Amino acid sequence: RAATAAAAADDDCARTRAMAPPPSKQPRREDAIGPQYAEHLRALRGLMKEEAVECLIVSKATTFFWLTGGRCYVPTIEEAGPSKVFVDQEKAVVVTTAIEEHKMRNQECPGWEVRAAPWAGLPGTQDAIVAELVAGRPCEQDTGRLADRLEELMVDLTPSDVEAYRELGRDIGAALEEAARSVSVGDTEYKVAGLTHLAYNKRGIDLVMIAVAHDERIAWDRHPLARLGNNGDGAGGTELKKVCMIATCGRRKGLVCSLSRVVCFGEVPEELRKIHDVCMEVDAEINMATIPGKTAGELYDVLTKAYTDRGFPEQMLQHHQGGLIGYKCRHWIAQPGSDKVIKAGRAYAWNPTIAGKTIGTKSEDTIIVDKEGKVMNITPSPTWPYKEVKTADGKVFPRPDILVK
């Protein structure tokens, strides 16, 4: 059974508070867990100790990813699934069903102790395993009072996280370039989305967000979900005539990168050239302003000024501009007056967009602000045309230009 997210999860702890026989002593298995996730487990136990949490059930997909690197779901639309993790100060056990056991033990969560319940009789069979592990103690959920602190823990990248993130960034930058270079005039938006899926999937990356727009639709829709065309909505077909924009969020082992690219067939139209230059400039300004200690509210003001100084003040309010990324497409977005603080050792993705009269555009990559406060673009496309863009204070940040075919 694919468990539903929070509602069923809350029932777990209520049912398992009933007295159950104490669990037999098991050897700790942390040494068998990969170092990236063993470090996450230690951090989680530290938080639990600080918050006086004896037992915790991790069932939310994003938290499960962070803790184990594995996929707990079956349908990708679910926020939880048939696998969860029980954690106390002595044990960390993946609790799943017999259907998922081999996969969880050998593929998704190697090195973790795994206990599987018969599927016949769920949820009771799985609850019995949790009850044995809890042994009558207070038990909490990752969706409960620790949720906000857990999210803060997740976005603080360890050196192992940074290494994995940079590998994902290199692969995803190459994947989107491969997809964009394979696009042809006459392709529907859905075909382009399929080409993008193929390029990502062959590198072990799941597309968790894919937006494709062709020609004038780039100006109409800021989140253009792919269409086949002629669906009775008055928008006509989506067969590519000249300009294609692909915007994506790709995930591997929980970490998410966000990036967008624009392709033009033949000479770039004057309006597109103008607005893309501005978009790249705004993008450079916000990325170079992502400095530890600054607030999201201050960065909102940076963006507002960047658009206004270039004659496009209205664009600021037509689409959010991005923010903190990690195990979600965005953990927060920059809002006016927000006190969210930029911190070193975290990832950010800004996505300036401009809609013109006949065409639109976007500039986007994922960056990491390292421990020294330096901005690193982790999603460059290897042979894509980049432009060295200078900010108002003289800094230079390369931005992806339009690929002309």
What pTM, to 2 d.p., does this model score?
Answer: 0.90
Decide if pLDDT at 11 tops 80.
no
Distance CA 80, CA 52 (A): 25
Q: What pLDDT does residue 25 have?
A: 45
Please spell the DSSP secondary structure of 62-114, one letter per residue. HHHHHHHSS---SSTT-SS-S-EEEE-SS-EEEEEETTTHHHIIIIISTTSEE
Confidence band for 79, pLDDT divided at 50, 70 and 90: confident
Residue 279's pLDDT band, with cuts at 50, 70 and 90, is very high
pLDDT at 253: 97
Phi, psi of 255 (to 5 degrees): -70, 140
Please report the pLDDT score of residue 231 as a whole number: 54
**Cα–Cα–Cα angle for 229, 235, 236, rounded to 5 degrees:** 50
At residue 388, the pLDDT reads 97
Is the bond preceding residue 123 a cis peptide, omega within 30 degrees?
yes
CA–CA dist 387, 402 (Å, integer) = 10
What are the CA-CA distances from residue 74 to residues 108, 193, 240 (Å)?
12, 22, 34
Predicted pLDDT of residue 77: 83
Does residue 273 have a pLDDT over 80?
A: yes
Q: Higher-confidence residue: 15 or 35?
A: 35
Q: Mean pLDDT, to the nearest integer, of 43-64? A: 97
Percentage of the chain exceeding pLDDT 90: 85
CA 360/CA 134 separation, integer angstroms: 55
Nearest by Cα to 82 from 142, 20, 125, 131: 125
Q: How far apart are the C-alpha atoms of 405 and 325, rounded to whole Å?
A: 32
| Average pLDDT, rounded, for the chain | 92
Q: What is the pLDDT of residue 236?
A: 64
DSSP β-bridge partners for residue 388: 398
Mean pLDDT within 371-382: 95
Give the range among 13-17, 28-32, 136-140, 176-180 with minimum mean pLDDT: 13-17
Question: pLDDT digit string (tens) for 220-262?
Answer: 988 999 988 765 455 567 899 999 999 999 999 999 999 999 9
For residues 46 and 25, what is the distance between their CA atoms, to the nearest angstrom? 22
Please state, in angstroms and rounded to a whole number, the distance separating the CA atoms of residues 66 and 257.
Answer: 15
Q: Give residue-wise pLDDT tens across range 201-222.
A: 999 999 999 999 999 999 998 8
Mean pLDDT of 276-289: 98
Contacts of 121 (CB under 8 A, 6+ apart): none
Q: What is the mean pLDDT of residues 347-365?
A: 97
- 17 pLDDT exceeds 80? no
